[in-house]
A and B are shown apart, each in its own frame.
Chain A
Amino acid sequence: MRIGVLLAVLLFTPLSIAQNLYQQLGEKEGIETVVEEMLYRVGGDDRIAHHFTDVDIMRVHKLISEQICDVSGGPCDYSGDDMKTSHRNMGVTNADFNALVEHLIAAMEKHDIPVSAQNQLLGLLAPMHGDIVEN
């Protein structure tokens, strides 16, 4: 048991110490790169691309980057509407939400964001599910 705990500590701690989440995500530039990659993938995904056809994609990129910077502890203040207001009447389904999560994960994997940082960000964004998805 004690050996198990020790192994677990050895396995996990080097990944989670020292840097805060904002830094682990590569700060402002790293976040903007990941969001760009995510939106690029969304654009090629027929399942959800239609949600982004009539929007100013540069503005979406700016707002999502700003929001991630904000929630991860970076020096940003998210200037957009709250999640409920900004997704009202968009008809976002659970499947759409999961598709976006998959693209965000793929983008983070591509840019070598550590798993511990990926999980911290996903853990911060997942509670927004209730305000974004319409049942």
Chain B
Amino acid sequence: MKMNIRDSLVYGSHSILAGVLLFSSATFADQGTRLLATGGASTLEGAGGGGIVPWATLSSYAGKGQFGATVNLSEVAVDDFRLSVQGASVSWNNRIELSYAEQTFDLSTIGGELSQSILGAKVRLAGDLIYGDLPQISVGAQHKKNNDYALPSAVGSQDDSSVDWYVSAAKAWLDGPFHRTWVANLTLRSSKANQLGLLGFGGDKENSRDWLTEASVAAFLNRYWAVGIEYRQKPDNLNFAEEQDWKDLFVAYFPNKHVSVVGAYTDLGSIAGLDDQTGWYLSVQAAF
């Protein structure tokens, strides 16, 4: 039964991919008017950004008056868990981004799996990533809903859905240290989500919202390759297991405006009582 759901999800996302590809050749014929890599990658929660931090940048290369879209697949494999994400986003006018992601969390060692759906929206309020003195500033929301709530409920979570709010600022320096182009992003998030929300929202230890800091810094070695680090503060709401901050060290490749690939070494700390969860992260995005 589980296999069927999983298979249909995968099949579904492939259908979406095929649909977007067909659609794009018809209506997104013009190339986006923003510069290479300014669309960033896709985060685990569907929004445009780094790997684990949503950025103030909007996904795709859609500039003024343009529509853009992305589809993405991501996998995170750490010692005792595996997270699979299928996501898509639509952006307009370099102003608004709507995103959707399906996360499946495979509890390899413990057994079973968890999953949730995330509907996101992001609006650019002011500034530009590259030009002018002001950083690009955006606000966003992510509505998260658990598909299977039995386990999160059993370990002390208080709710099966919640909304994360965040504000992000991003800035690029074309001629930064070592004469390389650098990008930095700072995000402040208000959230009750346990392990992204996969273990529900709020808990028996703490049931209020936390302000969490998330940051990314990347350096472009040349036009196409970037290396960087990300850090994401996490809440700690459940008594049964401590939740720790996330970190990753990534390499991103932007061969053109239609494809990006991100590989990373991730340290997700302790998850559900299993310590030192480190491993790899791989994400592929197609943009139109």
| A residues in contact (CB < 8 Å) with B | 8, 11-13, 15-16, 47, 93-95, 98-99, 101-102, 105, 109, 115-117, 119-120, 122-124, 126, 129-130, 133
Residue of A94, A123, A130 touching B33 (CB-CB under 8 A): A94
Are B178 and A16 touching (Cβ within 8 A)?
yes
CB distance from A98 to the nearest CB of B (A): 5
CA distance A69 to B131 in the complex (A): 22
Contact A98–B34 (Cβ < 8 Å):
yes
Other A-B contacts than A94-B64, A115-B180, 16 sampled, CB-CB below 8 A, are A11-B178, A12-B178, A15-B178, A15-B179, A16-B179, A94-B33, A95-B63, A95-B64, A102-B36, A115-B222, A116-B178, A119-B179, A120-B179, A122-B175, A126-B130, A126-B131
Whether, in the assembled complex, B150 has its beta carbon less than 8 Å from a beta carbon of chain A, the answer is no
Determine whether the beta carbon of A119 is less than 8 Å from that of B181: yes
Q: Which 4 A-B pairs have the closest CB atoms?
A: A123-B175, A95-B33, A116-B179, A12-B178
Which residues of chain A are near B176, meaning CB under 8 Å?
Answer: 119
Instruction: Give the docked Cα–Cα distance between A15 and B176 (Å).
Output: 14
CA distance A75 to B135 in the complex (A): 35
Partner of A119, one of B64, B131, B180: B180
SS class, residues of chain A in contact with chain B: helix
The 9 sampled A-B contact pairs (Cβ below 8 Å) are: A8-B178, A47-B33, A95-B63, A98-B33, A119-B179, A123-B174, A126-B174, A130-B131, A133-B131
Total interface residues on B, CB under 8 Å, equals 20
Task: Say yes or no: is B125 at the interface (Cβ < 8 Å to chain A).
Answer: no
- B112 at the A/B interface (Cβ < 8 Å)? no
**Chain A residues closer than 8 Å to B180, beta-carbon distance:** 12, 115-116, 119
Task: Determine the residue in chain A with the shortest Cβ distance to B249.
Answer: A4
Name B218-270 residues within 8 Å CB distance of A.
221-223
Total contacts A-B at CB 8 Å: 61
Given A12-B178, A94-B63, A126-B130; A115-B223 close (CB under 8 Å): yes
What's the Cα separation between A117 and B222 when bound, in Å? 11
Q: A94-B33, A105-B223, A130-B132 are in contact. Are A122 and B174 (CB under 8 A)?
A: yes
Question: A93's closest neighbor in chain B, by CB?
Answer: B64
Chain A CB within 10 Å, residue with most, of B64, B178, B179: B179
Q: Which residues of B contact A (CB under 8 A)?
A: 33-36, 63-64, 130-132, 173-176, 178-181, 221-223
Residues of B with C-beta under 8 A to A13: 178
Q: Are the C-beta atoms of A99 and B33 separated by less than 8 Å?
A: yes
Question: A135's closest neighbor in chain B, by CB?
Answer: B64
Task: Return chain A residues, CB-CB under 8 Å to B223.
Answer: 105, 109, 115
Query: Is the beta-carbon distance between B179 and A115 smaller than 8 angstroms?
Result: yes
Query: Which residues of chain A come closer than 8 Å to B179, judged between CB atoms?
Result: 12, 15-16, 115-117, 119-120
Task: Looking at the assembled complex, report how far the CB atom of B173 sits from the nearest CB atom of chain A, in whole angstroms.
Answer: 8
Q: Contacts A102-B35, A126-B131, A130-B131 hold; do A119 and B174 have CB atoms under 8 A apart?
A: yes
- Looking at the assembled complex, report how far the CB atom of B37 sits from the nearest CB atom of chain A, in whole angstroms: 12
Chain B residues with CB below 8 A from A8, complex form:
178
Q: How far is the CB of A14 from chain B (nearest CB, A)?
A: 11
CB distance from A135 to the nearest CB of B (A): 10
Residues of B within 8 A of A101 (CB): 35
Known A-B contacts A94-B63, A98-B35, A109-B223; the reply to A129 vs B178 at CB < 8 A is no
| Closest A residue, CB atoms, query B34 | A98
